[in-house]
């Protein structure tokens, strides 16, 4: 729950939307922004990732929202940052699904989740995770990841320049992380499970090889896949003293829980860096408990976030109007005409 998200929610409320409930994701909570929402009477609840994934929190909230919709005839729009509602929306009866105007998903992780079950979802599902405007945001996220890592290393008296880095995942975020690290004079290697992405990285001057070989050589390992990419076995193969950092939207890039269980020694080096001693005699470091390092700083300027928020709002309006024959059974993207209008208005404001 960051300042820009609070601004968006309060703006939507002032425009007449009823904010039924907000879940604040762990490790990205600004206390001042949270208090603003609470003071405004918005129902904000904090839960761990485990609670969101494994408890009845999500299905119970969905049921309560549908019950409210049946009473007041207001349609429900689910704004997602991670796809938590996806399996439960897919299981709704025809009668209950009728009360949902649709879903807007913001992240690659959530996009992938909805993609797995969208054929069974009876309402339209928009995703902004792969839009051209999100690509602009991703460039700033990549730079923020590199800046945060630089700060983390400076805290222990180490320079980031001249180190070797492995970026796992060469999608929208990963390619921008790789570019930002390369600009800071690191030797950057790339690994992705898709060979065509590895080829793309190679053509742009990055080192490529088998994952095991790259792990054994890299001082920094940054994972940006939107899913679990680095297993416990992978961690054991890492170079001694390697630093593991996430650029994903949640704490699933590394098997941090397995690492804690495996480690025979743990040292909290700084507020943002933990050292683990492995049974094989190696040491590895984990930044920010395996959560996204870019949240350590102001990740993306507000005026850039505004582009994505504008896209989310337009998706929401299309869902509520439903006059364009929106398809179900597949993930939808905002049409280029709307994206061009957002860009045109943004540029007009910048150049005024």
Number of Cβ within 10 Å of residue 338's Cβ equals: 16
State how beta strands 242-246 and 283-287 pair: parallel
Work out the percent of the chain whose per-residue pLDDT is above 70. Answer: 98
Q: Is the pLDDT of residue 251 over 80?
A: no
First to last CA, the chain: 31
Q: Token pair of 251, please?
A: 């704490």
Start-end of CATH 3.40.50.1480 domains in the chain: 3-132+301-350
Residue labelled with tokens 């040491």: 283
State how beta strands 125-127 and 100-105 pair: parallel
Q: Is the pLDDT of residue 300 over 90?
A: no
Instruction: Give the tens place of pLDDT for each residue, 84-127.
Output: 999 999 999 999 999 999 999 999 889 999 999 999 999 999 99
Single pTM value for the model: 0.87
Per-residue pLDDT, 96 = 97
Q: Is the pLDDT of residue 347 over 70?
A: yes
Number of Cβ within 10 Å of residue 4's Cβ equals: 20
Q: What is the DSSP track for 264-278?
A: SEEEEEETTEEEEE-
Most confident of 38-52, 111-125, 287-301: 111-125
Contact present, 138 and 116 (Cβ < 8 Å): no
- Give the closest residue to 36 by CA, choosing from 20, 22, 52, 51: 22
For the segment 32-49, the average pLDDT, to the nearest whole number, is 91
Q: Is the pLDDT of residue 323 over 70?
A: no
Q: Can you tell me the distance from the alpha carbon of 347 to that of 230, in angstroms, rounded to the nearest whole number?
A: 40
Residue 75 DSSP symbol: P
Q: Token pair of 175, please?
A: 């390619």
Q: Token pair of 172, please?
A: 């929208």
Least confident of 34-38, 163-167, 260-264: 34-38
Instruction: Give the tens place of pLDDT for each residue, 271-286.
Output: 999 999 999 999 999 9
The β-bridge partners of 246 are 223, 292
Q: Output 244 or 2, whichever has higher pLDDT.
A: 244
Q: Can you tell me the distance from the alpha carbon of 79 to that of 82, in angstroms, rounded to the nearest whole number?
A: 10
Q: Is the pLDDT of residue 29 over 80?
A: no
Start-end of CATH 3.40.50.720 domains in the chain: 134-296
Work out the percent of the chain whose per-residue pLDDT is above 90. Answer: 83
- Give the closest residue to 105 by CA, choosing from 78, 132, 123: 78
Per-residue pLDDT, 324 = 62
Q: Token pair of 156, please?
A: 């222990």
Q: Token pair of 328, please?
A: 């179900």
Contact present, 227 and 112 (Cβ < 8 Å): yes
Superfamily of domain 134-296, CATH level 4: NAD(P)-binding Rossmann-like Domain (3.40.50.720)
For the segment 134-139, the average pLDDT, to the nearest whole number, is 94
Instruction: Give the tens place of pLDDT for each residue, 48-74.
Output: 888 888 889 999 999 999 999 999 999
Per-residue pLDDT, 217 = 97
Instruction: Give the tens place of pLDDT for each residue, 183-199.
Output: 999 999 999 999 999 99
Q: Which fold has domain 3-132+301-350?
A: Rossmann fold (3.40.50)
Contact present, 79 and 312 (Cβ < 8 Å): yes
- Give the closest residue to 158 by CA, choosing from 248, 242, 253: 242
Confidence of residue 252 (pLDDT cuts 50, 70, 90): confident
Contact present, 128 and 104 (Cβ < 8 Å): yes
């Amino acid at each position: 729950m960051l300042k820009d998200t609070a601004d968006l929610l309060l703006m939507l409320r002032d425009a007449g939307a009823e904010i039924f409930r907000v879940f604040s994701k762990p490790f990205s909570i600004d206390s001042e922004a949270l208090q603003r929402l609470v003071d405004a009477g918005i129902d904000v609840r904090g839960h761990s990732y485990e609670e969101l994934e494994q408890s009845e929190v999500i299905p119970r909230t969905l049921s309560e929202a549908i019950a409210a919709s049946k009473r007041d005839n207001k349609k429900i729009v689910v704004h997602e940052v991670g796809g938590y509602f996806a399996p439960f929306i897919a299981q709704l009866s025809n009668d209950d699904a009728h009360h949902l105007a649709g879903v807007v998903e913001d992240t690659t992780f959530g996009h992938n989740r909805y993609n797995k079950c969208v054929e069974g979802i009876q309402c339209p599902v928009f995703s902004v995770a792969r839009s051209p405007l999100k690509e602009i945001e991703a460039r700033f996220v990549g730079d923020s990841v590199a800046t945060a890592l630089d700060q983390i290393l400076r805290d222990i008296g180490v320079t980031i320049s001249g180190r070797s880095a492995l970026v796992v995942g060469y999608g929208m975020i990963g390619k921008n992380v790789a570019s930002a690290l390369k600009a800071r004079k690191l030797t950057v290697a790339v690994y992705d499970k898709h060979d065509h992405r590895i080829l793309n990285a190679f053509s742009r001057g990055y080192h490529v090889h088998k994952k095991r070989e790259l792990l054994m050589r890299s001082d920094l390992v940054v994972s940006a896949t939107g899913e679990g990419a680095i297993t416990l076995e992978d961690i054991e193969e890492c170079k001694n003293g390697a630093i593991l950092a996430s650029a994903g939207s949640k704490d699933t890039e590394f098997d941090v829980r397995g690492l804690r269980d495996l480690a025979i020694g743990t040292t909290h080096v700084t507020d943002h860096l933990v050292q683990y001693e492995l049974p094989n005699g190696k040491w590895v470091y984990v930044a920010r408990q395996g959560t996204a390092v870019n949240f350590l700083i102001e990740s993306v300027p507000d005026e850039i976030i505004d582009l994505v928020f504008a896209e989310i709002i337009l998706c929401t309006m299309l869902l509520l109007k439903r006059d364009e024959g929106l398809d179900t059974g597949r993930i939808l993207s905002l049409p280029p005409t709307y994206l061009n209008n957002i860009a045109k208005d943004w540029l007009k404001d910048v150049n005024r």
